[in-house]
Amino acid sequence: MENIVDPILEIKDVSISYDKNVTAVKNVSACVERNTITAIMGPSGCGKSTLLRAVNRMHELYKNITVTGEILLNGENILTRDPIEVRRNIGMVFQRPNPFPTMSIYDNVLAGYTLNGISLSKHKRDDLVEKCLRNVALWDEVKDVLNKRGTFLSGGQQQRLCIARSLALQPEILLMDEPTSALDPIATKHIEDLLVKLKKEVTILIVTHNMSQAMRISDRSMFMFLGELIEYDDTKRMFESPKDDRTRAYLTGQMG
């Protein structure tokens, strides 16, 4: 991928292995453009989640995983920085909506602050909650039930709440691992619209196994296969004229 003007994230020769003998990601290098949506596609088990999770250093929670290479955020290697600071700057939304079950909707939005031990004035908190929930188009639906538990909401609403929770910390990058695969088509559409709107504020890296979703929302796409980054291009160009045979096979549905 050549025409990166303003890279926010540079992945340099990253390899990730589970238990030494299983290498899930092999020598991946890529640059991500600021304020874009970049989709990561590929058949299941090709290492999409593994690569994504390296970016906010989730792998460090497990002893058996080793990550090599460099991941630069604004030119600084995040693999050697304080993981807590990195995670504050790089939000993550998971496959299944996972609002904190014992917290209210209000507290869920603010959870990032609570968990970082940052206290805000009541006024600031109210403002922030409203702003974030408006940002994910959830405010009108929940403004009267802010004290209810987040788990009372529908799946799609929960996922938007989780996005709001990540955005509250004003991250530079939002990582999303198949964020709509557990949702119905209407909720999915809702979130897709949202993401397109949000890319003005935050760079989005989204794993999806749904090609039409990548087509609809992403500016650039990566295609991974068996742990390797096979192709990385403008989404439109990749869908129209894939360079690699494996990409073509995948895009035309000849591969799982």
Partner 1 sequence: MKKDSNVKARIFKNNLLYVVVCVMSALTAIPLLAILGEVLVKGWQQLGWSFLTEATPNAFKAMMAAQKGEPIPGGIANGIVGTLMMLFTAAVVAIPVGILCGICLSEFRKNWFAKTVSYITDLLQGTPSIIIGIIVYIWVVVPMKGYSGFAGSVALFIMMLPLIIRSTEETMKILPESLKEAGLALGGNYWRVMLKVMLPASFGSIFTGILLAVSRVVGETAPLMFTALGGAVISYDLGRPMSAVPLMIWEFFNDPNLQDLIWGASLFLLTLVLCLNLLAKRIAKKWKI
How many chain residues touch Mg ion (CB under 5 A)? 1
Q: Are strands 90-93 and 173-177 parallel, antiparallel or unpaired?
A: parallel
**C-alpha pair distances (Å), 8 with each of 3, 38, 76, 235:** 13, 12, 10, 18
State yes or no: residue 91 binds partner 1 (CB under 8 A).
yes
| Residues in contact with partner 1, shown as a per-residue x/- string from 177 to 216 under the rule CB under 8 A | ----------------------------------------
- The dihedral built from the CA positions of residue 43, 45, 47 and 49, taken in this order, carries a sign that is positive
Residue from 13, 76, 81, 84 in contact with partner 1 (CB under 8 A) = 84
State yes or no: residue 147 binds partner 1 (CB under 8 A).
no
CB of 111 to partner 1, least distance (A): 6
**What is the spatial distance between Cα 210 and Cα 184, in angstroms, rounded to a whole number?**
13
Q: What's the alpha-carbon Rg for the chain, to the nearest Å?
A: 18
Chain residues binding ligand ADP by CB under 6 A are 18, 22, 24, 42, 44-50
State yes or no: residue 49 binds Mg ion (CB under 5 A).
yes
**What is the spatial distance between Cα 164 and Cα 162, in angstroms, rounded to a whole number?**
5
- Taking CB within 5 to 8 Å according to partner kind, which of partner 1, Mg ion, ligand ADP, none is near residue 58? partner 1
- Taking CB within 5 to 8 Å according to partner kind, which of Mg ion, partner 1, ligand ADP, none is near residue 170? none
Instruction: Dig out the tokens for 37 from the structure.
Output: 């949506």
**What is the spatial distance between Cα 155 and Cα 54, in angstroms, rounded to a whole number?**
26
Contact 165, 97 (CB under 8 A): no
CB of 30 to ligand ADP, least distance (A): 15
Residue from 29, 35, 36, 98 in contact with partner 1 (CB under 8 A) = 98
Residue from 38, 50, 157, 166 in contact with partner 1 (CB under 8 A) = 166
Q: What angle do CA 38, 221, 77 make, to 5 degrees?
A: 50
Residues lying near partner 1 in the complex (CB under 8 A) are found at 56, 58, 61, 84-85, 87-88, 91-92, 94, 96, 98, 100-103, 111-112, 114-117, 151, 162, 165-166, 169
